[in-house]
Amino acid sequence: MVDTRRRRTKIKERPVSNRRWFNHGIGDALMLRSILPAIKAPFTLAIPEGRRYSELFQGFDNVSVEFADAPGKQYQPIEMNAEDSCLPVECGRPIKPRIALEHDFKVFDYTYRIRPLELDLSGANSVGAVATLERLKAIPGRYAVIHAHGASSPLRKDCPVEMAEWICDAVYSLGLIPVLVNYGNDRVYPFAANGRVVQTIGWPMDATSLWWLLHEAEAVIAIDSGVLHMAITIPDLPSLFVRNKIDFMRFFYDCGLEQVRDVLQVTDTKTETEKKVSQLCLSVQ
């Protein structure tokens, strides 16, 4: 008889450098942060200054941060392989942070469950945060943050323009101001010209600025992006995930997603969209 059972591939042992280079988006940075407690050996984390999220790694005794615009020979890059890369893991589901933990850091821990780590950047120093807080004062009322586009893989993650308009209209009809994040993109939605939608074009989106924007919000509706990854690190901030082809609920964490109240499919009708947005917004009334 032929044994057709899937066999796990043993990950090859290679030396792990204590000087690592990381050049990925803020969502990946938050996922890296989620596995730091499992990494016992101290290491230096080098990131380009342009990434503007070094404050995410403060408070960890095993990590020291420095800046480098290129990896150089002294650093070993952290790959953060894609969630659908199919790389084998030994100690749990093949979610993206687990792949990094085992393949990049060679840490194998059956007991460590990967979850979003609570984040408080209220004491972080940031020039951008000062400007952000001033902008927040200008928003005329309680608001919900909406991130519908601007992802690293737009064809797999972004929300259709028509659905973004439905979401904004539903939020506004329930008495909240829709704050539409044009994060990393200068695209202007035509429907936002009606004056009911606040667009954050040119917002200084360093990590602390984004944290304040989300911390002061009543709710978040977002695609798979750094916005949603950060939203679930802020306690009691209810969220709605807009799913295209990448399933945020499956590929990134073992647990800790209770704040994501529901999932909007990009194929949902206007009625289905309005219903899910209404349930989210009514929960914060």
- The average pLDDT across 238-245 equals 95
Residue ranges and CATH numbers for the domains of the chain are: 19-104 (no CATH), 127-282 (3.40.50.2000)
Report residue 35 CA to chain centroid gap: 14
User: Tokens 């408080």 sit at which residue?
Assistant: 120
What interhelical angle do 161-173 and 270-282 show, nearest 10? 40
Residue 1 has pLDDT above 50, yes or no: no
Q: Is 93 left (phi over 0), alpha (psi -120 to 50) or beta?
A: beta
Q: Residue 239 and residue 261: Cα distance in Å, rounded?
A: 6
Residue 183: both structure tokens together:
């994060």
The partner residues of 80 in beta bridges, in order of sequence, read none
Of 22-31, 110-119, 193-202, the one with minimum mean pLDDT is: 193-202
Give the global pTM.
0.90
Round to whole Å and give the CA distance between 65 and 61.
Answer: 11
pLDDT tens, position by position, 66-95: 999 888 888 999 998 877 677 889 999 999
pLDDT in tens, 50-62: 888 999 999 999 9
Query: What's the sign of the alpha-carbon dihedral 98, 104, 105, 108?
Result: positive
Strands of the chain, DSSP E? 19-21, 43-47, 63-67, 76-77, 143-147, 177-180, 198-199, 219-222, 239-243, 260-265
Residues 261 and 218: their CA atoms lie apart, in Å, by 13
The pLDDT value recorded for residue 36 is 97
pLDDT per residue as tens digits for the range 16-50: 578 999 999 999 999 999 999 999 999 999 999 88
